[in-house]
Amino acid sequence: MNDGNGGGNGGGHDARALVFRPLRLGALTLRNRLIRSATYEGLGDRQGMPRVEELTRLYCDLASGGIGAIVTGFTAVSQDGRAMHSGQCGFDSEAKADAWRRVREAVRACDPDVPMIAQLAHTGRQTLETATGKPVVGASSRACTYFRQPVHALDEVGIERIIEAFAAAALRARDAGFDGVQIHAAHGYLIHQFLSPWTNRREDRWGEKDRFCLEVVERVRERCGPGFSVWIKLSGEEDRTPGVRIADTVRTAQRLESAGVDLLEVSYGTMETALNIIRGACPVNVILKVNPLFSHISPHWRPLWKAVVGPKHLYRLKRFTPNYNLAAATAVKEAVSVPVAVVGGIRSLDDAIQCLQGSGGPGLDAVGLCRPLIREPDLPARWRNGAASKSTCTNCNLCTVYCDGAVPTECRTPHRAADKGRSS
Ligand SMILES: Cc1cc2nc3c(=O)[nH]c(=O)nc-3n(C[C@H](O)[C@H](O)[C@H](O)COP(=O)(O)O)c2cc1C
């Protein structure tokens, strides 16, 4: 299968050139194959209003750091779809879209060649009623063991309202000058809840697992027109059984291709075992300190909690390995013609090259980076300028854990003296 982007074997070409070739995605052209994967910024106020100056600074740093495209952190399409994270931005009102327009214009002034894609999400059961002020809703009433909230299964009216909320948010993003949207169908959020047999236990027409996802994409596509890029992020697999398996994701991807998505990004997992989405260290003491779901546990009980919960959940996590979602993304790429990206564990130029060249299958079209860019927004430029250096991200995961507190996302591990001066 060929999308005209030559996603396959790099053959005798300079391997670096594979990474720094442009990528055509429908009406959009990316200057290289490196995408800033969606990363919660913690730069919204309590109502989800974007903090324009800070967001502009963050994205301008990424743009001047050489990235090919920027996907924003997840933005809520409706109030009941807000996350537990108090700094999450929204795209659920004209006022918020207006703030995003100012961000978009400022980033374009920094660098006109970096497309910006708004990630649109509804959390479904993965939130707290205290965070949204609304009943928690889901594909069915099965509660999430992490958030432990009663979940109200959506009825037809609720489902239609949320499909419409995705389409309205996408239109706002388009009118605010964004180049596209990425529909968040991964990580156990509402669309993933419909995709998964673990959470979709419906017996009505929405029991067809990818129906909701497809209807969201079709409505967004229809509302925003053909010139607007529509991306989607999927979890290739998840931890639960019965849950999403790669054969299901491949089938969903094929149907999404027919529905007109421009890029599929493959990730992993759900928030029920959130650390398996990202892998690496499990900073349990910090989790107990800052995560509102656990911070109520008194210091007295913490050793017992760690002894009981630790072995069951925390210490049996999947190990971090470079390119840990590459096999899943390759399986998707083999089955579709639409461009496919992977995210998860890309840390060096060689990792990126391996994804694009292919390993046991066709090469992918793009790679997503998250934690490395929180630490070193100029990593793409360094790679482009000849440095073969590996990201100094240690996967300590403090960036992630602190997302659960009310602070902006940042790297909290000091740079070693030897690394100083590598980053601007
Ligand atoms: C601090 C932090 C915030 C994240 N926020 C989002 C988000 O808003 N939306 C999303 O789809 N994924 C989010 N992710 C997941 C990343 O996009 C990515 O899938 C994951 O971190 C693996 O990539 P990496 O190894 O390059 O970090 C986040 C991850 C981290 C560490």
The pLDDT tens digits of the residues spanning 392-418 come to 999 999 999 999 888 999 999 988 776
Question: Is residue 409 one of the residues assigned to a domain?
Answer: no
Question: Is residue 273 one of the residues assigned to a domain?
Answer: yes
Residue nearest to atom 28 of ligand 1 (CA): 39
Give per-residue pLDDT as tens, 146-173.
Answer: 999 999 999 999 999 999 999 999 999 9
Which domain, by its residues, includes 379? 15-279+320-394
Question: Is residue 107 one of the residues assigned to a domain?
Answer: yes
Question: Is residue 292 one of the residues assigned to a domain?
Answer: no
| Atom number, ligand 1, closest to the C-alpha of residue 184 | 11
Question: Is residue 423 one of the residues assigned to a domain?
Answer: no
CA of 344 to the centre of ligand 1 (A): 8
Kindly write down the DSSP assignment for every residue of 324-335, as one continuous string.
TTHHHHHHHHHH
Q: Indicate left, alpha or beta for 42 from its phi (over 0: left) and psi (-120 to 50: alpha).
A: left
Residue nearest to atom 14 of ligand 1 (CA): 39
Query: Helix 326-335 vs helix 349-357: angle between axes, to the nearest 10 degrees?
Result: 30
- Would you say the CB of residue 369 lies under 6 angstroms from ligand 1? yes
Q: Average of pLDDT values for 303-309?
A: 84
Measured between alpha carbons, how far is 144 from 139 in angstroms, rounded to an integer? 12
Res 245 pLDDT > 50: yes
- pLDDT at position 26: 87
- Do 417 and 382 form a contact (C-beta atoms < 8 A)? no
- pLDDT at position 3: 41
How many structural domains does the chain have? 1
Res 11 pLDDT > 50: no
- Would you say the CB of residue 344 lies under 6 angstroms from ligand 1? yes
- pLDDT at position 13: 52
Give per-residue pLDDT as tens, 85-127.
Answer: 999 999 999 999 999 999 999 999 999 999 999 999 999 999 9
Among 34, 35, 36, 40, the mutation site with the greatest number of ligand 1 atoms within 8 A of its Cβ is 40
Among 191, 287, 370, 379, the mutation site with the greatest number of ligand 1 atoms within 8 A of its Cβ is 370
Residue nearest to atom 13 of ligand 1 (CA): 39
| Atom number, ligand 1, closest to the C-alpha of residue 39 | 5
Q: Average of pLDDT values for 36-43?
A: 98
| Atom number, ligand 1, closest to the C-alpha of residue 37 | 17
Residue 144 is given by DSSP the state: P
- pLDDT at position 307: 85
Question: Is residue 381 one of the residues assigned to a domain?
Answer: yes
Question: Is residue 34 one of the residues assigned to a domain?
Answer: yes
| CATH classification of the domain holding 176 | 3.20.20.70
Q: Average of pLDDT values for 222-240?
A: 97
Question: Is residue 139 one of the residues assigned to a domain?
Answer: yes
Measured between alpha carbons, how far is 76 from 258 in angstroms, rounded to an integer? 26
